[in-house]
Structure 1
């Protein structure tokens, strides 16, 4: 609440995530993706307020995440039922302990491994899942590059095989081959009764592994779509989502004009209207989500809905 003002960082975010499914949440920086992730894990600042329902049901228990106590989240949710690949891995790694020591601690706590030899082997297997080089295991976090810190954080998140893995920008600092390897490993995590929520600005990574795509703009989810349709034919229906794809180098390489609004100073009506070439007088009203898209003039297959 800067300057005493309330900022609605996320509004009307509604989605379900089924076992075995990967949902990629995409959008420009500052649209609220990471705030949503922090809310699910109870990691928002103390002055933040939440409302609504976020139900975690995984066969072990049903937990309302937004109202759960800090003790319950720390004891039975974080790490055990929701694994987190953080956006800023350096802030989540213990600076005075080696990567090996941190992996062994998590393996001991979550997997119940006890023997010294067994712990060492299990930690090295966990590192291998995230392509973390074994000859760096005895280094401290400050001795790692950004990409290696990201891989260390990913290895820690995968240890518990949590029913839900929440990966917040898991490919930051990685080159393309490592991006592909990392997201492939995250995808393998979704086998059986495990699900993946991946927050990313990397649309190529999302296309590689997502089953569904959610597009966020100015704190709202403006489109939810099947990934194959979203990245293929007929493509996204929301003009902003189509703009994201058109900006890719292997597509039209055409940037979306203008800048997104500040979350603390959202315009009346559709927040994307000032950047949209489909705007009409109807866009002075906030569009309600309908059939997976929140837009007064969505693009439809074989038909222009501009004047629908």
Structure 2
């Protein structure tokens, strides 16, 4: 974990990804609407890891799917998500991921400019092909190297993801959940995409493998690429993140440097502070109540019914100011 003061100052001009007002709505039968993501704003710099954290169902994975054009047909998106052009190319090669058509995303973005470590690896692995053949095919598609070079590149990718060489000739159904996750991570690392989206990349892994996996993802960022780590594992986020974005009920409610968020000062939003206080090594104090239904969000602060600091002012929606969206932000701890 690094203090990113210098990078933060340069982020606006060195952003691999710039997201503005990203909103996702799902239209359901009967005219109901689910507000999965609302007005998400953030930049991701080259060489930076931004960890997006929050309870299950808060919209983290929907945000990642929107960036790759992988939402279902009943989804409506708005806003912009500008992907910087590849190094050495013209500014005209920048792509708005939300406006790009499927042909552009499939041929020039997914795998090549944006890599994905999926939340459900089984859905992304071909069941009738071995892991080795899928790795080699991905190498061929992204790099066009010779057959011999493809084999070496595939084995190197497997080693980077801590996938055992003795399992390369197995089929996906022969893998445990943890091994399938590592196979999916190896596939995502092959293209050395300038932006990597890692959606719960440590699912099914023991602590040692969690550390090894996120350290490899950190190295990916340290080579000058952007890493968006979507996770509920706050220990993994603390290990490698430069900044932390906290999501609640479809909204980003706080963005803070990781050294401050996990350090003695702590987060400023009451929900973010509650996430940390619920950890076994912090206080093991659960946040009372349940998150609201995304189809029936309140007009004001969505966290107010669970917040000990809520007042009548919280019936109005707080603006995102100085890195936090809260009428009563916490003071930094001593």
What TM-score do the two structures reach when normalised by structure 2?
0.89
Question: Where does 1:144-183 land on structure 2 (aligned, <5 Å)?
Answer: 144-183=175-214
How far the C-alpha of 1:302 sits from its partner, in A, is: 6.3
How far the C-alpha of 1:192 sits from its partner, in A, is: 3.5
Give the alignment partner of residue 7 of structure 1, picking from 23, 30, 34.
Answer: 34
Assess if the C-alpha contact under 8 Å between 1:81 and 1:162 holds in 2. yes
Distance, in Å, in 2 between the alignment partners of 1:46 and 1:225 is 34
Matched, 1:18 2:45: yes
Give the 3-state SS of the residue equivalent to 1:50 in structure 2. Answer: strand
Assess if the C-alpha contact under 8 Å between 2:47 and 2:222 holds in 1. yes
Give the 3-state SS of the residue equivalent to 1:241 in structure 2. Answer: helix
Range that drifts further, 222-231 or 192-201: 192-201
How far the C-alpha of 1:247 sits from its partner, in A, is: 0.3
Assess if the C-alpha contact under 8 Å between 1:111 and 1:159 holds in 2. no
Give the alignment partner of residue 235 of structure 1, picking from 248, 266, 269.
Answer: 266
Distance, in Å, in 2 between the alignment partners of 1:243 and 1:47 is 33
Give the alignment partner of residue 34 of structure 1, picking from 58, 61, 75.
Answer: 61
Assess if the C-alpha contact under 8 Å between 2:46 and 2:225 holds in 1. yes
Q: Which has the higher strand share?
A: 2
Matched, 1:94 2:116: no
Give the alignment partner of residue 262 of structure 1, picking from 280, 290, 293.
Answer: 293
Matched, 1:50 2:82: no
The list of structure 1 runs, each at least 4 consecutive aligned residues, that deviate by more than 2 angstroms after superposition, is 1-4, 58-61
Give the alignment partner of residue 326 of structure 2, picking from 276, 291, 295.
Answer: 295
Distance, in Å, in 1 between the alignment partners of 2:241 and 2:333 is 25
Matched, 1:131 2:158: no
Residue segments in structure 1 that go unaligned for 5+ positions in a row? 304-308
Distance, in Å, in 2 between the alignment partners of 1:192 and 1:138 is 30
Give the 3-state SS of the residue equivalent to 2:244 in structure 1. Answer: strand
Give the 3-state SS of the residue equivalent to 1:264 in structure 2. Answer: coil
The size of the alignment, in residue pairs, is 302
Distance, in Å, in 2 between the alignment partners of 1:285 and 1:52 is 23
Tell me the alpha carbon deviations over residues 11-57 of structure 1, each in whole angstroms, 9 at most, x when there is no partner: 01000000000000000000000000000000000121100110000
Distance, in Å, in 2 between the alignment partners of 1:240 and 1:280 is 15
Give the alignment partner of residue 213 of structure 1, picking from 220, 244, 248.
Answer: 244
Distance, in Å, in 1 between the alignment partners of 2:314 and 2:182 is 43
Range that drifts further, 277-286 or 60-69: 60-69
Assess if the C-alpha contact under 8 Å between 1:98 and 1:141 holds in 2. yes
Tell me the alpha carbon deviations over residues 185-243 of structure 1, each in whole angstroms, 9 at most, x when there is no partner: 00000124311000000000000000000000000000000000000021100000000
Range that drifts further, 14-23 or 105-114: 105-114
Question: Where does 1:45-124 land on structure 2 (aligned, <5 Å)?
Answer: 45-58=72-85, 59=87, 60=89, 61-115=93-147, 117-124=148-155
Assess if the C-alpha contact under 8 Å between 2:266 and 2:333 holds in 1. no
In structure 2, do the counterparts of structure 1 residues 280 and 124 end up closer, same or farther at CA, with 3 Å as the change threshold?
same
Tell me the alpha carbon deviations over residues 167-193 of structure 1, each in whole angstroms, 9 at most, x when there is no partner: 000000000000000000000001243
Matched, 1:277 2:303: no
How far the C-alpha of 1:109 sits from its partner, in A, is: 1.5
Residue segments in structure 2 that go unaligned for 5+ positions in a row? 1-26
Cα-Cα RMSD: 1.1
> Could you tell me which residue of structure 2 aligns to residue 306 of structure 1?
none
Assess if the C-alpha contact under 8 Å between 1:246 and 1:254 holds in 2. yes
What TM-score do the two structures reach when normalised by structure 1?
0.96
Give the 3-state SS of the residue equivalent to 1:52 in structure 2. Answer: strand
